[in-house]
Structure 1
């Protein structure tokens, strides 16, 4: 049964997001660990993801790459996990899931690389300015317990991961709203279980 759902990942990658989502779903899955370098550029893996990057999942004959897409797909593929609102109530859920995949990640990455747009350039980038992105995000996580309302969803897995990493590595300025939100979404057994699995994989890889 586990062969029908496979995670291709590396514990030092965004694959941790996909792992968390899989643990939330609760379906059995098999893990294929790939090292950076030749393994990710092999013909076998390029058939899974032509970008030669992890994570990716294979569910039967369906292949999904990109973390936000993986989270959205798994929520739909396993509705019994209750990780997506009803279709008629998904506006907020989709908004913040893809806000994190688009404006948030792009703005933070550009700033970290020293490529912030000037005033004249801001109209040409999807996020405008990082100040606008962070102000919008701070307000959003303060409105309700979870990003799409009172119920935890796949959008919290994805957005929460970005906020958690940002706070851990300093790419997001710490503020009470971000800290409180991250504490809420990470206080889950599935998150702890996923972290243990990836930490164990890192430790095993580090051993000679």
Structure 2
């Protein structure tokens, strides 16, 4: 298992099992690189000075690699793909158009549309010209067409773009913020079969159960 307790490991994940840290953990497991974890609590350590020195936003996840800090899940996925090229999680530089497109489509239009809808924000026709996603319905249709038209979003092979977009879809369908369309379910099934996804999920499930038992 890549997860280690060695204090000498220079790759660190700051996380909480019930957070977007699940995305970063999946990506770390895909790299196969050893990493250690620092589990934070929402009410205390996540907003305490030591962690705010890492991420002033007081949010997880964050990754520290060789003293370099990376926050924001899309950036973490892209960084780790480049930091560990042997894992093959990014296409060759000259073939990254689709990779970048869908990685940041999920970080921008998709997340904004889903969050706004969850908060009850529904832009009218005029407001849709101002918001980057236009409308929630348009975002869903565009993404459905994208995943239906290819096995993986970043090119012929699985990549960090699939980790990030797939995480949004898996989470969204689980909690009802995205519809359970056949296109989404087929794409998600390809991803959840991956050993790294299953390993990452098992770690966070066990960690979540441990935290729940502690009250």
Same fold (TM over 0.5): yes
Judge conservation of contact 2:118–2:177 (CA < 8 Å) in 1: yes
Alignment of 1:148 with 2:186, yes or no, is no
| Alpha-carbon offset, residue 136 of structure 1 | 0.5
| Ranges in structure 1 where 5+ consecutive residues have no aligned partner | none
Contact map agreement 1:146 1:185 (CA 8 A) in 2 = no
Provide the TM-score with structure 1 as the length reference: 0.98
Say whether residues 1:124 and 2:130 are aligned partners. yes
* 1:37 partnered with 2:43: yes
Answer yes or no: is 1:56 the counterpart of 2:62: yes
* 1:22 corresponding residue in structure 2: 28
Q: Alpha-carbon deviation of 1:143? A: 1.2
Deviations 1:16-45 (A, max 9, x none): 000000000000000000010221111110
Note if contact 2:128-2:135 (Cα within 8 Å) is conserved in structure 1: yes
Distance in 1 separating the partners of 2:26 and 2:45: 23
Question: Is residue 2:189 matched to residue 1:187?
Answer: no
- Structure 1 outlier segments of 4+, above 4 Å: none
Structure 2 gaps, min length 5: 1-5
CA distance in 2, matches of 1:107, 1:204: 33
Q: Is the counterpart of residue 5 in structure 1 residue 11 in structure 2?
A: yes
Size of the alignment, in residue pairs?
Answer: 208
Q: What TM-score do you get using the length of structure 2 for normalisation?
A: 0.95
Q: CA RMSD in A?
A: 0.9
1:75 aligns to 2:71 (yes or no): no
Q: CA deviation at 1:149?
A: 2.4
Alignment pair present for 1:99 and 2:84: no
